[in-house]
Amino acid sequence: MSVDSILESRLGPESLRKLLALDNDPLNAVIADAILQFQPSSVFVSSGSPEDLHRVRVQAMRLGEEKPLIFRGHTVHYDGYEDQGRDPENTKFLVTGEDSLGPALNWVNREEGIAEIDQVMNGIMRGKQMVVSFYSLGPLGTEFAIPCVQITDSYYVAHSEDILYRQGGELFKTEASKEQFFAFLHSAGALKNGVSRDIDLRRMFVDLNKNAVYSANTQYAGNTVAAKKLAHRLAIKKASQEDWLAEHFLITGSPSYEGNKTTYIAGAFPSWCGKTSTSMLFDVVGDDLAHVRKKAGRAYAANVEKGMFGVIKDVNTEDDPYINEILVNPGEIIFSNVLDVDGRPFWEGMGEVDIPLRGVNHSGVWWKGKKDSKKKLIPISHDNARFCVSLEGLKNYDAKQVVDLDGIIYGGRNSKRPVPVSQLYGWVHGVFSGATIESEPTAATVGAANAEVIMNPMANKEFVSIPIGTYLQNHINFGRDLKEPPKIFYVNYFLRDDSGKFMNTKMDKKVWVRWMERRICDKVGAYATPTGFIPKYEDLVELFKKELTATYSKEDYEVQFMTHVPQLLEKLNIAERFFKKETSVVPKEISGMIEIQRGLILEAKKMFGENHISPFKFENYQVPESLTKPF
């Protein structure tokens, strides 16, 4: 059958008209192939018009994928009990011939992978309607825009992407789109009680040759809303070929006290390490994914998305006031895997709220004390329960499409090291610190509960689609042409004392980010240490007073900014083992920095005669001038 006859056999006149208006033969071929393989009973094409967006929302509720809640625009969606997070084991890259992504990445020979996904997905949409939608990764009308087509049998997935991404139908009319666009092909598969039945056949395969993603037998948005982390994998490879960066970055803007400048800072954090809350501290541009390009010696960045798919646990009036406000007022929001009691959503850590003793959640009918088949107590909401909402509704939303990038934050989760905030000594030192992010496992990944602390370069390890050594070399190379590289910082919000108590409050991060803005604008000094510049005590006293109306004691400063020699050396040893195991080619700048850092730490231990060195002792300490240069 010809492409035209295949399309005419499944598309009604209106959907066919909308598709043919794009005049894109490669796009038509992808959709026709999907029809032949998946065998849907019919196809609906969304043009992104208000009428089509409304239809998608209504169908999601009509088919039971979402249920309306009491506030106008609020709905709730439930994933299967065993389908609540990203699935790294069954997320694989398809690689051609002799190519290899190295031992760090989960990949399979392309021919073998295609055969497997064909077996899983052939005829998977029988009896269902296929939905076709068009999106842009990045702002329209800029060099950041990448055209994407989503093909799915889930109106929930289409609705989620309508909230999260810019409509991109117009991009498919361009000649450039006929050469390259991203294609996402998803089916929830057979359903039982409204959720994917065949979880053992859950597959997420990323075809790097065809810029396509296949996703089957899953509903969790991290596995199905392909324009998010699945597309991110495609974008990383594209960026490496075109000399830009596709990153797991928030973007936040910090207006100066003087009122004459907003400093824009990007930040990479593994899930559950404070990323979304950091993005919301001042003016939020984006909370999850960003692309970074360079022009005239400066780096500039754009948010890939226009919405946020955030973890809802512990969102409350005190810790996340901007997010909490949008969640408790009318507006278009999809809640997932929370407790529903008479149309009102409840979640873990929502603050001073009386939690009902009974309702409906991700486990079905729920009651206080309910346990699952493994005798595990079921909380009111899943630890990875989410909300999906447009950023435009936030009071602190910064609508600037593209921003000059003044700073970059890398942050992880470790109870022993390093200090709460430090500034790295230059671009290469910053890339090294990003490459050695370490973090305890979180509920965002299936099967992570008992895993050890992992090293997660740029918080991107799960998504990198090129050898990690190549990925890190691209970072180093990106900075070479920059006359003014962004200043790079490292944060750790999760230090604990010997009793296991956190040393900082959740809002202390506002001081750390404000200190970064002050450093970027040359408004405060710092002490040099073996691992980076740290704040001076007197500057933090002033910032705690201004930002949090709080006092900050010398005792707290000293214990939080202590240089712990054994713990820092341990991290370097872990990094060394990680790079030897995970990649055959480590950039010489990275391996060299391990030795430089080890030497400086041991030298400081000898200089001060201590394993645990007070920050006050570094008042006159200096590091080699060569380390403070970008290269």
The Cβ-side half-sphere exposure at 177, using a 13 Å CA radius, reads: 25
Q: Which helix (H) or strand (E) holds 384?
A: none
DSSP string, 564-617: EHHHHHHHHHHHHHHHHHH-S---HHHHHHHHHHHHHHHHHHHHHT-SEE-GGG
Strands 191-192 and 298-303: unpaired
In angstroms, the CA 543 to CA 127 distance is 61
CA dihedral 14, 15, 17, 18 (to 10 degrees): 120
In angstroms, the CA 270 to CA 463 distance is 11
φ, ψ at 273 (rounded to 5°): -115, 15
Strand, helix or coil for residue 525: coil
Strand, helix or coil for residue 406: coil
Strand, helix or coil for residue 65: coil
The alpha helices in 243-344, defined as continuous H runs, are: 275-279, 321-327
Mutual angle of helices 427-435 and 588-608, in 10-degree steps: 90
Across the beta sheet with 333-336, the strand order is 67-68, 74-77, 333-336, 386-390, 307-311
In angstroms, the CA 602 to CA 607 distance is 9
CA dihedral 329, 331, 334, 340 (to 10 degrees): 40
The one-character DSSP state at 378 is: P
Is residue 441 a contact partner of residue 489, using CB atoms and an 8 Å limit?
no
Let me know if 273 is a catalytic residue. yes
Structure tokens at 228: 């998010």
Query: Catalytic pick from 148, 273, 388, 521?
Result: 273
Q: Can you give the three-state secondary structure of 109-164, one letter per residue?
A: EHHHHHHHHHHHHCCCCCCCEEEEEEEEECCCCCCCCEEEEEEECCHHHHHHHHHH
Phi-psi region of 423 (alpha: psi -120 to 50; beta: other; left: phi over 0): beta
The one-character DSSP state at 534 is: E
Strands 333-336 and 74-77: parallel
Provide the annotated active-site residues: 273
